[in-house]
Amino acid sequence: MRTIAVVNQKGGCGKTTVAINLASAIAQLGKRVLLVDMDPQSHCAVGLAVPEEQIELSIYDVLISHTRNEPIRLTEILWQISDTLELAPASIDLAAFEQQVSGVPEPETLLKRVLDEVSQTYQYVVIDCPPAVGLLTFNALRAATDVIVPVETGYFALHGLSKQLETLGLLCKRCKQQVNVKVLASMYDIRTKMAREVLAQLRSHFADRMLRTVINFNTKIKEAASYGQPINEYDPASKGQQDFRRLAEEIMGIEPAQDSRQIINSLAEQLEAISTSANQLLASSQDKHTQRAKPSPTPQASVAATQAQSPQPEPTPAQTDARLASYYGVHPSKGAVTFVTLYPRAKTVQIAGDFNNWRPDQTPLQKVNENGVWQVKLELPPGCYRYRYVVDGQWQQDPYNERVEPNPFGEYNSVVEVK
């Protein structure tokens, strides 16, 4: 049985949406799935049209009763959602869980003990966690073979991410558990430049700790929740449904940690590694913001600086943004195109595209200054070209080029036209 905990202490980053729709997508692929709601706010019930007032027993009762002599079985509280999906609902009592179990030995393993009893019944368990790192989340982590951390693709999402991963790491230090921890980009809005930038940075920093699938922002997903349906029922043709199907397939394809012969880091080590990456990522995005406020001389900017010797008024952030936007990106000229990008921490930046048979090793970018500006000029016959950057081995779309098109891998290629 694989047990997937969906964890992030930030509210509104898409945990419940991911938990419900991932569980439902895996169930639709023919597996028996149990969705466990560990959030006192009971959003899974709301999102699956289970009438809250009719929930008499919840996961709270099961957990608490396991500390006493007459345990309530999990089967007594379940709601059937579809042929292969069941919900163990939450209730507001969970808010008092921590107090109720004080004095109980190993209260963080209660959920694991309950789930172990049904390990022959379900192939997958998905656990929705509350927006806090407390005993409820810790119970989910202790039961988990897989942890998914959904991260909204905006700069603010990164604040607090490293701190909480650090906290989770500390919490788990004692347990020598084998799990896969993966970061999932959620609510991705391809139309905004910031989202594209953050995704590119998440990819380059988290590398293989990042799930390949991205959950796009899709209004159908929001609508589905308000109608109490998973997206695969509400709108099977929607983009949102395709994303969750892809996510389910990707997760199902990952080798479960306990069966793997490779040496897998303990949960604590993985969380710490992710937390370090999040810190670096945050620092580099802050660097970038600082650079935006005061751009340091770039090849073009230094020419401008020597031409204008007199002191300039400080540009507004919007002016600086506009100036940088016109500097980074693609600059087609007659029969050629110059690619300019910013990767302050990269060791190598290459480009792969239609023009070099997608062989990045053929076309490296040159680092043009210490700030991490990289550039290459390619002479190309007129036409439309698709390309991606390869930054320290990680493929990513150009964060400074708004023109993109989907590729067969569920990601986006950047597009440039040479006249």
Ligand X SMILES: Nc1ncnc2c1ncn2[C@@H]1O[C@H](COP(=O)(O)OP(=O)(O)O)[C@@H](O)[C@H]1O
- Restricting to residues 118-137, which ones interact with ligand X according to CB under 6 A? 131
Please say which residue, 36 or 346, places its beta carbon nearer to Mg ion: 36
Among 73, 222, 289, 359, the residue binding ligand X under the rule CB under 6 A is 222
Distance CA 263, CA 256 (A): 12
**Least gap, CB of 194 to Mg ion (angstroms):** 24
Span interacting with ligand X, options 221-229, 272-280, 305-313, 373-381, rule CB under 6 A: 221-229
Of 208, 185, 182, which Cα lies nearest the Cα of 197? 185
| Binding-site partner at residue 245 among Mg ion, ligand X, none, CB < 5 to 8 Å by type | none
Smallest separation (angstroms) from Mg ion to the CB of 348: 40
Is 232 one of the binding residues for ligand X (CB under 6 A)? Answer: no
Eight-state DSSP code of residue 119: T
Cβ-proximal residue to Mg ion, closest one: 16
Cβ-based nearer residue to ligand X, 12 or 335: 12
The minimum distance between CB 128 and ligand X, in angstroms, equals 7
Among 172, 221, 271, 415, binds ligand X (CB under 6 A): 221
Distances (CA, A) of 113 to 71, 119, 132, 178: 12, 10, 22, 17
Q: Which stretch binds ligand X (CB under 6 A): 99-107, 108-116, 216-224, 379-387?
A: 216-224
Task: Decide if 387 contacts 332 (C-beta within 8 A).
Answer: no
Rule CB under 6 A: say whether 14 interacts with ligand X. yes
Nearer to ligand X, 189 or 269 (CB): 189
Given 79, 138, 217, 234, the residue binding ligand X (CB under 6 A) = 217
Crossing angle of helices 239-253 and 15-28, in 10° steps, is 70
Write the interaction track for ligand X spanning residues 176-195; mark x where CB under 6 A is met and - where it is not.
----------xx--------
296-to-135, 198, 281, 323, 386 alpha-carbon distances in Å? 47, 22, 20, 12, 30
| Nearer to ligand X (CB atom), residue 221 or residue 337 | 221
Question: Residue 130 to residues 9, 140, 408: CA-CA distances in angstroms?
Answer: 7, 10, 35
How far apart CA 205 and CA 276 sit, in angstroms, is: 10
Name, in order, each residue with C-beta under 8 angstroms of 215's C-beta and a sequence gap of 6 or more: 14, 17, 18, 150, 184, 185, 186, 187, 188, 240, 243, 244, 247
* Residue choice 133, 148, 151, 215 for contact with ligand X (CB under 6 A): 215
Range 8-67, binding Mg ion (CB under 5 A) = 15-16, 43
Query: Per CB under 6 A, does 13 bind ligand X?
Result: yes
Please say whether the beta carbons of 165 and 148 come within 8 A: no
Per CB under 6 A, the segment of 8-16, 105-113, 162-170, 332-340 that binds ligand X is: 8-16
Stretch that binds ligand X, among 64-72, 220-228, 307-315, 331-339 (CB under 6 A): 220-228
Give the orientation angle of helix 15-28 with respect to helix 219-226, to 10 degrees: 90
Chain centroid to Cα 334, Å, comes to: 40
Q: What angle do CA 186, 190, 191 make, to 5 degrees?
A: 135
Supply the minimum distance, in Å, between the C-beta of residue 44 and Mg ion: 8
Should residue 17 be labelled a site residue for ligand X when binding is judged by CB under 6 A?
A: yes
Nearest residue to 111 via CA among 162, 75, 60, 149: 60
Q: Environment class of residue 165 by beta-carbon count within 10 Å: exposed (0-12), middle (13-18) or buried (19+)?
A: buried
Q: Give min distance, CB of 225 to Mg ion, in A.
A: 10
List interacting residues with ligand X (CB under 6 A).
11-17, 43, 131, 186-187, 215, 217-218, 221-222, 225
List interacting residues with Mg ion (CB under 5 A).
15-16, 43
